[in-house]
Amino acid sequence: MKQVVDYVRASHGYSERRACKLTRQHRSTQRKPSRRDPLTALRQRMHEIVATRIRFGYRRVHVMLKREGWQVGKNVVYRLYREEGLCLRSKRPRRRKMAVHREARCQPSRPNQAWSMDFVHDQLSNGSKIRLLTVVDIFTREALAIEVGSRLRGEDVVRALNRLVYLRGRPDAMFCDNGAEFTGQIVDLWAYHHKVRMDFSRPGTPTDNAHIESFNGTLRDEFLNVNWFASPGEAQRLAEAWRVDYNESRPHMAHNGKTPAEFAEISGLCHGGQVQLAAGF
């Protein structure tokens, strides 16, 4: 507030008394020097975290600081987060259309019960198009696979799913949209062979598959928009490194700050088995 009074005085030539009256600040507060610790090291560390985790709010920043041993409360982190101008500004508008209720879907209550998959598009440094197949576990929020290729078809989808089934076992349900890669005969045969129920989103309703849409938004903000790829192989290598970091380091607020891997381990033990993370693709 002291800076506001100083700004008013410098910009309009007001006296200190008039500037304090205008900003509703007591003059003794204006004249008394602050004895608050500036917390310079903490502010610098917060800037470093946000520079590499561009979609982190103050809650996730607080989780990361606690992991590193900083003894600081959430309210202090929030105040510094605001003062340093680290607040996220790209807020998506709320949809004001009437909600249409669909029939009850599978609500997973354990790991590996329901997966979700989708495609993300990007391009290389030379302008060539690439596609990324993403697969997530809806209950644990784990990124199970990120498969990169110039052209990914139904055969590539089945190949990736077979690897995951080999490592983790089959899911009961699979959520996806109505893309040709997912509605084709080869994926249908795979689902029939493994007794997996395919749950397709309604056309034009991405909220039916909200978990993968949220993950893809994070993938684009924190990985695709901050990297430049020379080849599909390089994109695959970096995507796998990011996937491991997402599962093992990135706190997820749906799990009270635990990482997806930590939550999967706890949930796997509670349900009588250890959940195995997918190996690199």
- Per-residue confidence at 136, pLDDT binned at 50, 70, 90? very high
For residue 88, give the nearest of 217, 238, 239 by alpha carbon. Answer: 217
Angle at 25 between CA 23 and CA 27, to 5 degrees: 125
Same domain for 147 and 79?
A: no
**Is position 100 within any domain?**
no
pLDDT at 106 (0 to 100): 66
Q: Is 49 within 8 Å of 61 (Cβ atoms)?
A: yes
Global confidence as pTM: 0.71
pLDDT at 33 (0 to 100): 67
- Per-residue confidence at 275, pLDDT binned at 50, 70, 90? very low
**Is position 96 within any domain?**
no
Same domain for 157 and 253?
A: yes
**Is position 103 within any domain?**
no
Number of domains in the chain: 3
Same domain for 24 and 54?
A: no
Same domain for 31 and 44?
A: no
Q: Is 265 within 8 Å of 274 (Cβ atoms)?
A: yes
CATH number, domain containing residue 159: 3.30.420.10
Same domain for 44 and 28?
A: no
Tens of pLDDT, residues 19-32 = 888 888 887 777 77
Range of the domain at 185: 114-270
**Is position 98 within any domain?**
no
- Per-residue confidence at 98, pLDDT binned at 50, 70, 90? very low
**Is position 105 within any domain?**
no
pLDDT at 132 over 80: yes
- Residue 50, exposed/middle/buried by CB under 10 A (0-12, 13-18, 19+)? buried
Same domain for 159 and 58?
A: no
Same domain for 178 and 193?
A: yes
